[in-house]
């Protein structure tokens, strides 16, 4: 077979001349003229336009919550930097911050980093060396308005992500500094994981992680503040001050549903991740509340029933705790018992004929918040019944639950009123029995009423409209026998 002629040979020159002639001929045929607009494929019947219209009308379009882009936060000025030898982490501080404080912060952050790594949480998005290091930056500052700082959204991740940094207080004692730095680091990692999630959910999750790591419920045990004000929501709305009270709910539900420590909450954050494919702003759904409702629903543990159970569990905390209390209640500590806003005795209620004791004024309760009453029934006649009536405002669903307690605070049993759609009224007849000395009553605002039974309408904490409503309870003691002469005198309330 003859080999092709080399470049510059007579054969190559002949082909080049032929191609030149062909190009000139094509130019003469109009190939070099300016191309007109593409008319698209021929569609004499208009089927293409008809199909496009059908897809546009019937296709899925985003109509959920929209959140604005996050503005970048300025990084604090620093003079001291301590880098970890165990992880890509650096602690930054001003010149007047002591070495012991910086070292304590580093220990806390390293421990939290190890926990997140062990449980498979996604790594933080790299910040491009904004802090002068290749790792994650934690700043010790005097004024901590928000513990998680934001740099910018990630342009190369499939799901919504962003680079972030952490701020931790520099004025606390060494032990508190370690916990607060670990909490701040966790919160900033959560901001990197989902920039659209509510700050209160980040605080709650960070406090939950801090409790598992250190035994403390976040920085200065901030999650326990919700125990002191149980009528407030676990997760406040966007126009309210962020809190970490949702850590209590996460701890309670984790114990009910997980077999491996930490997997329940980590799975919620995975499920709540979203992709805003438009590239501007953030889609506010799914959020952590929606992820939580979905997990509980498919686990045959309805959200309303779970919140109702947690409401009574958290009341029997602190000094009211008994050996039968859930493990997470024991972790709240001895001073975490929520107050009963009403404490009274059945001696204040007439029994013959039955009459009503109405409690004024009605109290306003946030969604998922609970009002507690404690009634002493030791002076009631045998075989008495305590009738509990609930009258709540319209617009939300209400839960009415009670627990019967012995003289030593031991729980004897609990019951709840069935849900009644369309009416905010509930009623429970409580058979006291011989051992019942106290009756604990929990009235919980469950938020907006469900339109259908399967889905629980979770609070939209990205919005500014709270579904706080007022409620009133009425009590009636009914007995067929007079009270015995040696009835149990009124004792101090349990806890």
DSSP-derived letter for residue 216 is S
Q: What fold, for 340-478?
A: Jelly Rolls (2.60.120)
pLDDT digits (tens, 9 = 90+) for 451-476: 666 678 888 888 877 789 999 888 88
Nearest to 209 by CA among 168, 246, 236: 246
DSSP secondary structure string for all residues of 441-493 = EEEEEEEEPPSSTT------TTSS----EEEEEEEEEE-SSPPPTTPPPP-PP
Beta-ladder partners of 426? 390
Handedness of CA 31, 35, 36, 40 (dihedral sign): positive
- Note the pLDDT of residue 412: 92
| 67-301 and 340-478 share one fold | no
- The mean of the pLDDT values for the chain is 85
Higher pLDDT, 453 or 184: 184
Q: Per the confidence metrics, is the pTM higher than 0.85?
A: no
- Which whole number is the average pLDDT over 113-136? 94
Distance of alpha carbon 165 from alpha carbon 160, whole angstroms: 17
- Note the pLDDT of residue 353: 43
Nearest to 142 by CA among 173, 191, 97: 97
CA distances from 155 to 204, 279, 458, 484 (A): 28, 9, 31, 76
Distance of alpha carbon 311 from alpha carbon 371, whole angstroms: 9
Nearest to 371 by CA among 346, 349, 393, 356: 393
pLDDT above 90 covers a percentage of the chain that reads 60
pLDDT digits (tens, 9 = 90+) for 44-82: 666 667 666 665 555 455 556 789 999 999 999 999 999
In the block, tokens 């499920």 appear at 271
Domain ranges of the chain: 67-301, 340-478
Nearest to 137 by CA among 167, 108, 102, 110: 167
pLDDT digits (tens, 9 = 90+) for 393-427: 998 999 999 999 998 888 999 999 987 777 888 99
- Note the pLDDT of residue 27: 40
For 131-135, 182-186, 201-205, which range has the lowest pLDDT when averaged over its residues? 131-135
Higher pLDDT, 260 or 65: 260
3-class state of residue 349 by DSSP: coil
Higher pLDDT, 371 or 46: 371
**Strand pairing report for 89-93 and 80-83:** antiparallel
Query: Is pLDDT at 479 greater than 90 in this prediction?
Result: no
- Which whole number is the average pLDDT over 186-210? 97
Q: Which helix (H) or strand (E) holds 15?
A: helix 10-28
pLDDT digits (tens, 9 = 90+) for 293-351: 999 999 999 999 999 999 999 999 999 998 888 999 999 999 999 999 888 888 777 54
- Note the pLDDT of residue 120: 95
Looking at 1.10.10, 1.10.390, 1.10.3470, 1.20.1340, the CATH number of the domain 67-301 comes to 1.10.390
Higher pLDDT, 68 or 383: 68
- Note the pLDDT of residue 490: 55
Higher pLDDT, 311 or 38: 311
- Which whole number is the average pLDDT over 490-494? 64
pLDDT above 70 covers a percentage of the chain that reads 81
């Amino acid at each position: 077979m003859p080999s092709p002629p080399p470049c510059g040979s007579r054969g190559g020159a002949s082909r080049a001349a032929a191609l030149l002639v062909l190009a000139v001929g094509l130019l003469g045929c109009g190939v070099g003229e300016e191309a007109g607009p593409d008319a698209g494929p021929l569609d004499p019947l208009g089927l293409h336009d008809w199909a496009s219209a059908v897809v546009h009308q019937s296709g899925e379009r985003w109509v959920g919550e929209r959140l604005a882009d996050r503005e970048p936060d300025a990084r604090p000025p620093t003079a001291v930097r301590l880098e970890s030898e165990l992880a890509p982490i650096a602690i930054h501080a001003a010149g007047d911050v002591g070495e012991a404080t910086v070292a304590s912060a580093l220990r806390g952050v390293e421990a939290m980093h190890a926990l997140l790594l062990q449980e498979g949480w996604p790594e933080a998005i790299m910040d491009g060396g904004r802090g002068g290091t290749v790792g994650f930056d934690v700043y010790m500052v005097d004024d901590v308005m928000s513990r998680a700082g934001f740099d910018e959204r990630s342009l190369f991740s499939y799901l919504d992500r962003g680079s972030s940094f952490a701020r931790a207080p520099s004025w606390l004692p060494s032990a508190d500094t370690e916990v607060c730095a670990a909490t701040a680091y966790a919160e900033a990692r959560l901001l990197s994981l989902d920039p659209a999630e509510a700050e209160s959910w980040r605080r709650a999750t960070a406090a939950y992680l801090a409790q598992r790591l250190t035994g403390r419920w976040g920085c200065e045990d901030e999650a326990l503040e919700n125990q002191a004000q149980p009528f407030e929501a676990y997760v406040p709305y966007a126009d309210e001050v962020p809190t970490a009270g949702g850590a209590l709910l996460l701890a309670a539900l984790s114990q009910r549903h997980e077999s491996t420590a930490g997997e329940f909450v980590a799975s919620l954050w995975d499920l709540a991740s979203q992709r805003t494919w438009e590239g501007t702003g953030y889609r506010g759904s799914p959020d952590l509340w929606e992820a939580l409702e979905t997990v509980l629903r498919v686990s045959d543990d309805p959200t309303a029933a779970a919140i109702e159970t947690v409401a009574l569990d958290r009341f029997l905390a602190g000094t009211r705790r008994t050996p039968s209390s859930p493990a997470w209640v024991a972790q709240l500590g001895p001073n975490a018992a929520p107050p009963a806003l009403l404490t009274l005795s059945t001696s204040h209620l007439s029994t013959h004929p039955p009459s009503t004791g109405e409690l004024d004024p009605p109290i306003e309760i946030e969604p998922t918040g609970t009002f507690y009453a404690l009634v002493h029934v030791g002076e009631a006649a045998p075989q008495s019944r305590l009738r509990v009536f609930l009258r709540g405002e319209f617009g939300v669903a209400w839960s009415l639950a009670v627990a019967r307690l012995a003289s030593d605070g031991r729980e004897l049993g609990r019951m709840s009123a069935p849900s009644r759609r369309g009416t905010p009224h509930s009623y429970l007849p409580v058979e006291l029995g011989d051992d019942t000395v106290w009756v604990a009553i929990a009235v919980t605002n469950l938020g907006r009423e469900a339109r259908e039974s399967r889905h629980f309408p979770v609070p939209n904490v990205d919005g500014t409209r709270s579904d706080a409503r007022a409620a009133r309870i009425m009590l009636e003691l009914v007995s067929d026998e007079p009270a015995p002469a040696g009835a149990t005198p009124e004792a101090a309330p349990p806890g």
